[in-house]
Chain A
Amino acid sequence: MAFDYEKYLRPGKLPHIWCPGCGHGIVMKGLIRAMDTLKLDMKNTAIVSGIGCASRLPGYIDCCTLHTAHGRAAAFATGVKMAKPEMNVILCGGDGDGTAIGGNHFIHACRRNIDMTYIIMNNYIYGMTGGQFSPCTPTGHKASTTPYGNPDPNFDIAKLAIGAGATFVARGTAFHANQIDKLIAEAIQHKGFSVVEILDDCPTTYGRRNKYKSVIEMMNRLKEVAVPVKAAEKMTAEQLQGKVLTGVLYKDDSKSDYTTEYAKIIERAQAKK
């Protein structure tokens, strides 16, 4: 029997705003399957986002949803989780939202290791505003504000998350749709701050400026560059040139999460009273 996505969707809210060929819908389906796998209580689940195409995702899903201001998802979500640690808190958004204007909140959520899952849809561009370059636009590539090619070096979101203290970091792609739900489910189950970067595509504002003739070509690129971490172990540095590792890149179960630690603060304060 086909998977029933509708029971997780808000009635009357489709069609979504995403362009034909955009991978955000694939990610949303992956998230829904992950929520179904884990049998998450939707009444007790919050999805928090910032601003941008990817940040419109929460509106379609029937739980507690919070579409915040640009870049602020992680900070709002931290408030939700601190105040009600028993809630499942999932964040989503794009690369510009999460790593440029929201970069400070992102690294500090990683550092605190607060038990939330952040799904970053990385399509290398600010899509909603019409295709300006983001911190993830590859150097040399074209955006509406880099007409001569992007002079900026770009972030590796996964490395940034690991460096900042996230205790679960995974990467998938919109092409590898069947892997997305598994990565997200594992991330949600992880007790601590988890980051799932999904390499995505934006045919409308990124693809057409960078000589991708079709969505299929963009999807095929994701297929070609992705190398599962296991397979990469057997590959030479030369073979890995230009490739991107996918799967669970980092996992550390030894560290305590933030709200557990704060519960200890409360115990200490009350013992002193």
Chain B
Amino acid sequence: MAKKVEFLQGNEAAAHGAIYAGCNFFGGYPITPSTEVSEVLSIELPKIGGKFIQMEDEIGAMAACLGASLTGAKVLTSTSGPGLSLKQELIGYGCIAEIPCVVYNVMRGGPSTGMPTGPSQSDVMCAKWGTHGDHATIALMPASVQECYDMTAEAFSLAEKYRMPVHVLPDEIVAHMRERIEFREPGEIEITPRKAPTVPPEQYKPYDTSFGDVPPLADFGSGYRYHVTGLNKMQDGFPTTKAEVVQAEEERQVRKVDANIDDIVKFEEYMLEDADVVVVAYGSTSRSARYAVNVAREQGVKAGMFRIKTFWPFPDKQIKALAAKVKGFVIPEMNLGMCSIELERCAQGKVPVLGIFRVDGEPINPDQIVEKIKEVK
């Protein structure tokens, strides 16, 4: 049978990717430029018996998602910059209480109201450091409409597998452009279910590390009675201030991602085999970068592209390996140098990191990148 093919916008594709992954609960609040996600899901979710709720504010939307997730629902919220700022309180709750959820955040200009309809890539640090306290972060960077679909679906699996909030971070260009996309067949993208408890209710502990760094999570209302709190907690879910317990639990919550970086991190290598200059790019900017690499090659410069598909955890290992063999990095991004900080950290001063930073709401065009590639000596 021929695959279902449609001509869709990134946001619409993301909504369908969520349904593919088994999303059955959406809690949201209207915000430009992400509202198409909620509009599509308000149509699609009730058709499959799922629930759609528009909450009173961004915080409420995040809260409703976390509450629903505890009953076993697969939950999604969508937002944009100012909404991401508001959601940070409960993204932190999701981190410490270890509740799976997907946060689809369309990046627009900021800070504050900024440019609601202007594209940006300036939430990459907010996704990582926005909520207070130490915590692991996973953030995926779609660069096409197809990837809005695929990565949103994959985000659900990562959220369940690592029992935590997972970000999908399209920039406004990717979120609003239209492309041909293929709907995936069952099995084409791996869907990881939540790890359910194997012990009877009387033995169940919601943070039982004897099952590994990601303990099984029971559904509310399934016979298991347990306690969830945003306080530092013991394995049985009850609060504690015992120093050694808090230290161990905090370290575990970061380790569950850090120890699995190779499983989580995805990237694309384009013409890197013999490259002297590597353009590191993500999201819509990578589309200009690919074009620029082709132009530079035509002009005799050995350029290549490393495309970041997983921004968090950052692909340290790959960037460090490249830093040891290339002449320099070029990083075009629609912010004032956020990824650049990470590149410089990984490059450790071995090679220059040249940035092209735009926050004027205009995309970075290939000519700018070609020029910068030529600056690397």
Contact = CB atoms under 8 A, between A and B. Distances in A.
Interface of A: 10, 13, 42-44, 46, 48, 58-59, 62-69, 72, 75-80, 82-84, 86-87, 104-105, 107-108, 262, 265-266, 268-270, 272-273
Contacts of B224: 43, 64
Contacts of A68: 63, 66-67, 93, 230
Contacts of B222: 43
Interface residues of B, number: 45
Given A42-B225, A67-B231, A82-B53, A76 B66 contact: yes
Given A43-B223, A72-B59, A78-B55, A59 B65 contact: no
A48 B229 CA distance: 10
Contacts of A104: 56-57, 60
B226 interface: yes
21 contacts: A10-B227, A43-B223, A43-B225, A62-B225, A63-B225, A66-B67, A66-B227, A68-B67, A68-B230, A69-B93, A72-B60, A72-B63, A75-B55, A75-B67, A78-B55, A78-B60, A83-B67, A83-B73, A84-B221, A269-B47, A272-B47
Contacts of A64: 70, 220-221, 224-226
Interface in B64-84: 64-73, 75
A77 B55 CA distance: 12
Contact of B43 (A10, A77, A269): A269
Given A68-B66, A108-B60, 7 more contacts: A43-B225, A59-B227, A65-B225, A68-B230, A80-B220, A83-B73, A105-B60
B238 interface: yes
B89 interface: yes
Contacts of B225: 42-43, 62-65
Contact of A82 (B25, B89, B228): B25
Nearest to B218: A64
A62 B236 CA distance: 13
Nearest to B219: A84
B14 to A, nearest CB: 20
Contacts of B63: 68-69, 72, 75-76, 78-79, 105
Contacts of B221: 43-44, 46, 64, 84, 86-87
Interface string B75-115: 10000000000000110010000000000000000000000
B27 interface: yes
A269 B24 CA distance: 14
A69 B53 contact: no
Given A43-B225, A104-B60, A265 B46 contact: yes
B25 A80 contact: no
B89 A66 contact: no
A79 B25 contact: yes
A36 to B, nearest CB: 16
A46 B228 CA distance: 11
Contact of B228 (A65, A77, A268): A65
B178 interface: no
Interface in B28-67: 43, 46-47, 49, 51, 53, 55-57, 59-61, 63-67
Contacts of B24: 83
Given A79-B27, A84-B220, A108-B55, A58 B66 contact: no
Nearest to B60: A75
Contacts of B65: 79
A108 B56 contact: yes
Contacts of A86: 221
